[in-house]
Structure 1
Amino acid sequence: MHILCMSTGNADGIGDVRKEELYRASAILKVPLQQVTVLDHPDFQDGFGKVWNSTVLSNIVEKKVLDHAIDLIITFDNYGVSGHCNHRDVHRGVQRFMLDTSHREIEAWELVSTNIVRKYSGPIDIWLSFWTAHRSLNGQMHCLLNEHPLRSYVAMSQHLTQWVWFRKLFVSFSSYTYVNTLRKTNK
């Protein structure tokens, strides 16, 4: 498993701190640090109103895929879970990569954004997520059940610059802490 983070999250001038927070969270999730890449690309600075170039992003994804023989990508869907513009830009960049690539053995899956009621229904959403995925045709959706939700909480708590009261509530009550539905993207 490799993590490619497209930005240090430097909107408030604390990108280096946020980068270290991601490394600590990755360690909690048992992803080796040499498999975590955090970019500080001048075209991919964090913040609303900063549109990221999908062609440049696609080229970066392609290099990572080729350098590490990656055959499966998981990314945001077109809403980006929270509607954050940079999450949406990542989706568009991966989508462009998938359309442009000649490597047909590569699959891309996107994290399905849910409505606000489902998003904050915690573990109750497990059943609806599995039902929704089960109804999908041809295995185009899969659910990933988190068997260790406390580990997710501890990993998120490593992001001290973001670990404010509402994020603590979000991680506690978010269905994403318990289950994630992935949808296969079309080439």
Structure 2
Amino acid sequence: MLLASFYALLITAICLYAFFLTRFLKTPIVKTSIVLVIAHPDDEVMFFGPTLAELTRPEHGNTVRVLCMSSEHTLVGNHDGLGETRKKELVASCATFGIRESHVTILEREELKDGPNELWDPSLVGDQMNLFAKKHEVEMIITFDQRGISGHTNHIACYVGLTYFIQTFKDRTPVKSCYALKSVSLLRKYMSLMDLPITVVKTEALMPLMSKAVGIGASGRTIRSNTVRPSELLFVSAPKAIAQAKIGMEKHESQLVWFRKIYVLFSRYMTMNELRRVM
């Protein structure tokens, strides 16, 4: 029975993946100024690879920037003492997604030290988001959710900072929407594409995409706008995009210890991202 269930899940995952490869479902995020807010270099590809691969596709016309809160600078945020190396690795990783160096910002603040025991002030994180959004006319912010995917304190601080930003600056910002990357259980986290059937069943992202694909809204009226901001987004990477993310991860050579190599092989976050709208 267990073996039969495994094969049923595998076959379903393959069929669903083949469906997503047809690109019948188009992303509703086009011609938008976006910032991905991360805690550390390598977060952008370890967790957000499918998001970057999709949103940076030239045909979507998006402008994508990356704001990294901690650089692990040799003097500031020195958790491993690899700050300068990791900054260069982040720039190289972003370049694999077509994000140029001028669109990668790495903060160097004493208050934003890297480390699982470092508690970042939510108001400082939120203020940095606000300043960055105003400077670059950002329309969308993407970051971690309240569980931070891996439970890392700095990841969670990005979400708490986003919450502060929304509560404080919602009416005084060019930002129109904010999304948080959804955390899943440890088992699902390492199921790679085998988690796709479970994700499809649980997500709220597909109905708006299906409606838009056929040009019909919930009320039966034709959809005329490309500015839909659904409550959830689902990005599933094609093999080329998965390879792109793996190349991006390889740019973080200083971080490629054995357990991260296993992560790259089995993590669902290297193949799919599910984002929940929080504003």
TM-score for the superposition, normalised by structure 2 = 0.64
Tell me how far apart the structure 2 counterparts of residues 151 and 135 of structure 1 sit (CA, whole Å).
Answer: 24
Whether 2:65 is the aligned partner of 1:7: answer no
Whether 2:233 is the aligned partner of 1:142: answer yes
Tell me how far apart the structure 2 counterparts of residues 98 and 165 of structure 1 sit (CA, whole Å).
Answer: 38
Tell me how far apart the structure 2 counterparts of residues 136 and 151 of structure 1 sit (CA, whole Å).
Answer: 24
SS of structure 2 residue aligned to 1:13:
coil
Gaps of 5+ in 1: none
Determine the structure 1 residue equivalent to 2:269: 176
Tell me how far apart the structure 1 counterparts of residues 184 and 256 of structure 2 sit (CA, whole Å).
Answer: 22
Shift of 1:165: 1.4
User: Alpha-carbon deviations, 1:75-117, whole Å to 9, x = none?
Assistant: 0001111000000111111111011111375211000011011
User: Where has structure 1 moved over 6 Å in runs of 4 or more?
Assistant: 135-138
Note if contact 2:234-2:275 (Cα within 8 Å) is conserved in structure 1: yes
Shift of 1:145: 1.1
SS of structure 2 residue aligned to 1:144:
strand
Q: Which has the larger radius of gyration?
A: 2
Determine the structure 2 residue equivalent to 1:114: 184
More off after superposition, 66-75 vs 130-139: 130-139
Note if contact 2:134-2:174 (Cα within 8 Å) is conserved in structure 1: no
Tell me how far apart the structure 2 counterparts of residues 173 and 134 of structure 1 sit (CA, whole Å).
Answer: 24
SS of structure 1 residue aligned to 2:259:
helix
Note if contact 1:122-1:174 (Cα within 8 Å) is conserved in structure 2: yes
Determine the structure 2 residue equivalent to 1:125: 195
SS of structure 2 residue aligned to 1:2:
strand
Tell me how far apart the structure 2 counterparts of residues 6 and 50 of structure 1 sit (CA, whole Å).
Answer: 12
SS of structure 2 residue aligned to 1:73:
strand
Tell me how far apart the structure 1 counterparts of residues 174 and 256 of structure 2 sit (CA, whole Å).
Answer: 40
Determine the structure 2 residue equivalent to 1:82: 150
Determine the structure 2 residue equivalent to 1:63: 131
Note if contact 1:129-1:179 (Cα within 8 Å) is conserved in structure 2: no
How has the CA–CA distance of structure 1 residues 142 and 12 changed in structure 2, closer, same or farther, with 3 Å as cutoff?
A: same
SS of structure 1 residue aligned to 2:142:
strand
Tell me how far apart the structure 2 counterparts of residues 179 and 80 of structure 1 sit (CA, whole Å).
Answer: 16
Tell me how far apart the structure 2 counterparts of residues 135 and 24 of structure 1 sit (CA, whole Å).
Answer: 31
Kindly report the root-mean-square deviation, in angstroms, between the aligned alpha carbons of the 2 structures: 1.7
- Letter paired with 1:79: R
- Partner of residue 253 from structure 2, selected from 160, 168, 187: 160
TM-score for the superposition, normalised by structure 1 = 0.94
Gaps of 5+ in 2: 1-63, 73-77, 209-229
Note if contact 2:70-2:113 (Cα within 8 Å) is conserved in structure 1: yes
How has the CA–CA distance of structure 1 residues 169 and 91 changed in structure 2, closer, same or farther, with 3 Å as cutoff?
A: same
Tell me how far apart the structure 2 counterparts of residues 75 and 83 of structure 1 sit (CA, whole Å).
Answer: 14
